Structure 1
Amino acid sequence: MTGDSQGRGRPIDARMLRALGHPLRMRMLELLQADGPATATGLGKRVGESSGTTSWHLRVLAEAGLVEEDTGRGNKRERWWRPLQESTHLRTSDFLGDPDLTGPLDAFLRTVVEQRYQAESQFVAEAPRWADRWSGKVVFGDARLSLTPDEALEMSEEIHAVVERYRRDARPGDDRVLTQWSAFPRRARPEDTEESG
């Protein structure tokens, strides 16, 4: 789930954004999308919250159309939940002019950045575990380019097309691989107060 991403999923609408304007709900949805169906109790253990708290947040996500009960699992005492799509994507331009969504949009974007940081930090902490199979194959990179907004969008669309080319169902021997991509502007000199056009 990333800002302005593409892929299997659907765009985030205002109702979804309000539901995702809470870091715990975003974390729970991320876990369901990454690891599959879970119960409120199972999610609670993973996120350090009570099952009552996670159950309430799951209902909020369900009302927003992001998760649903997995009726093929569990029993009357145990409700399982699953995501309604593999991923979600957001176009910030859809919400920037709506003052009622300023808070949820800010919370969503900040949580996306924190989730990316946490995922990369967890990999670094677990790097020895992956050394045999992934030595020399993990990439952390960045680039500083001079682009127009249209060129940045075109580049991102090309990258997402490549990612989609590699998307397939899991096979024996596969590992789950997280890809992350961002393209955003920054001022060359923070002390400059002049806004760029």
Structure 2
Amino acid sequence: MTASETHRITELGTLKAIAHPLRMRLYRALFVARTATASQLADQVDEAVSLVSYHLRKLADGGLIEEAETQSADGRERWWQPSSYGFRIDEADVKDAPELAAASAAFGRTLSEQRAEMHARFLDERLTWSEAWRSASISSEWLPRLTAAELAALGAELEAVLQKYDQAARAAEAAGDTEGRENVAVHLHGFPYRP
């Protein structure tokens, strides 16, 4: 996996695979862990190892994850890793394909629900975090009046900034700088609406 490549989803089977709520949770957990076994992921999502193994194979069939180099001495466990830095669904690929559009909408709803759950959990548990983390957390809403081109440019700039920070953090971790690091979720939405 390289730090900048993303998997472009254009096939219905792959889109349906990632739209499944448990598979999205597994993908997210694997992305954070970098590499993991079905047993390790099963502990994180509180599901049976056999069920997790099944869903990991479905993600692998869609090209979203791949086998990783074995990290155990006996080599009996199967290790997994994301096959790319992430994935994307382009509007151009789904706009004229009703099944893809429906699967894309289902995926978007699943993702939105899981993001909301993550943020709600932080709000419920915020007092368990240090003052530094509570002060550093962000939650903002802006309501600018933009053109479609301006919104696209804004999205590209925000993605570049986030990728810069993520790549720097990965490099620092690889160099052994892990002090004070936590997993951080940054959710940004930008879409038109009418009041």
Q: Runs of 5+ in structure 1 lacking a partner?
A: 1-6, 189-197
Deviation, 1:58, is 0.8
- Equivalent pairs counted in the alignment come to 182
The verdict on how the C-alpha distance between 1:149 and 1:79 changes in structure 2, with shifts beyond 3 A counting, is same
Using the size of structure 1 for normalisation, the TM-score is 0.82
User: Deviations for 1:2-49, whole angstroms, at most 9, x for unmatched residues?
Assistant: xxxxx6533223253132121111111111001232222232232232
Report how far residue 96 of structure 1 moved.
2.3
Gapped runs of 5+ residues in structure 2?
none
Equivalent-residue separation in structure 2 for 1:48 and 1:176 (angstroms): 19
Write 1 or 2 for the structure with the bigger share of helix: 2
CA distance in 2: counterparts of 1:101 and 1:22, whole angstroms: 14
Change (3 A) 1:103 1:71: same
- Cα–Cα, structure 1 residues 176 and 45, in superposed 2: closer, same or farther, change >3 Å? closer
Distance 2:121 2:141 in 1: 19
The corresponding residue for 1:78 is 77
Q: 1:43 aligns with which of 13, 16, 41?
A: 41
d(CA) in 2 for partners of 1:50 and 1:123?
26
Alpha-carbon distance, 1:76 to partner:
5.2
Alpha-carbon distance in 2 for matches of 1:30, 1:50: 18
Q: Distance in 1 between matches of 2:185 and 2:27?
A: 15
Written as runs of structure 1 = structure 2, the 5 A alignment for 1:53-64 is 53-64=51-62
TM-score by length of 2: 0.82
Aligned pair partner of 1:172 in 151, 158, 178: 178
Q: Aligned letter for 2:164?
A: R
SS in 1 for 2:107: helix
2:193 matched residue in structure 1: 186
